Amino acid sequence: MIIFFRKIRQKMLTENKFSKYLLYAIGEIVLVVIGILIALWINNWNNQRLADNQTTNFLKNIKEDLVSDTLEFDLRIDFYKEFIAEKKKLLSLSSYEKINTDSLSVLISATYALYEINNTTFTKVTNLGISKLSENDELSKKIYNYYTIELKTFSEYINWEKEATGYEGRYWSNFQNEYEFIIDENDEFPKFQDSITNRQNLIKLITEPKGRNQILLDYYRKKRILAKYQEMKKISSELINEIVIGLNTN
DSSP assigned state of 107: G
Q: Which residues of the chain have pLDDT under 50?
A: 2, 5, 13, 21, 47, 50
CA distance 198 to 102: 12
- State the DSSP string of 53-96: HHHHHHHHHHHHHHHHHHHHHHHHHHHHHHHHHHHHHHHT-S--
172 close to 104: Cβ distance less than 8 angstroms: no
Q: Which amino acid is at 130?
A: I
Per domain, the residue ranges of the chain are 2-249
